[in-house]
Amino acid sequence: MFDFEKLTVYKKAKEFDSQVLSLVCTDKVIDKIIANQLKRASLSIPLNIAEGTGRYSKADIKNFYVIARGSAFECAAIFDILKDRKNINLDNYNDFYKKVEELSMMLFAMIRRLS
């Protein structure tokens, strides 16, 4: 087992990515370009967490966690836009927003510990 597989934040990021994929594959209202961007941003979160745990220096590890957190922010912005465009209902928006906010906070704590 790789170290990143033990991290709660990685598990939650993987689950979030899976839920995003389900949303964009079943919801035909979401523009294909936005759906593609959301899929890439949500996948970036667990991938950067995993890559960061494979690095040796604190600075390298921190950099990948910062990138993962940036991707979480990107997802939050996309969901905000989808809400404004009425491409997702408020319940879906609130659910995804809460999950990505939790990921962001977890990553922030990990980044602070490395500073």
Structural domain boundaries in the chain:
12-114
Tokens found for residue 96: 């995804």
pLDDT number for residue 28: 80
pLDDT, tens only, 50-68 = 999 999 999 999 999 999 9
pTM to 2 decimal places = 0.96
Tokens found for residue 52: 């960061």
Quick one: CA torsion of 51, 56, 59, 63, rounded to 10 degrees? 0
What Å distances lie between residue 50 and 9, 57, 75, CA to CA?
10, 15, 18
Residue 81 has pLDDT above 80, yes or no: yes
If you average pLDDT over every residue of the chain, what do you get? 96
pLDDT number for residue 29: 85
Give me the CATH topology for the region 12-114.
de novo design (two linked rop proteins) (1.20.1440)
Residues 6 or more apart whose CB falls under 8 angstroms from that of 114 comprise 58, 61, 62, 65
Gap between the Cα atoms of 66 and 77, Å rounded: 17
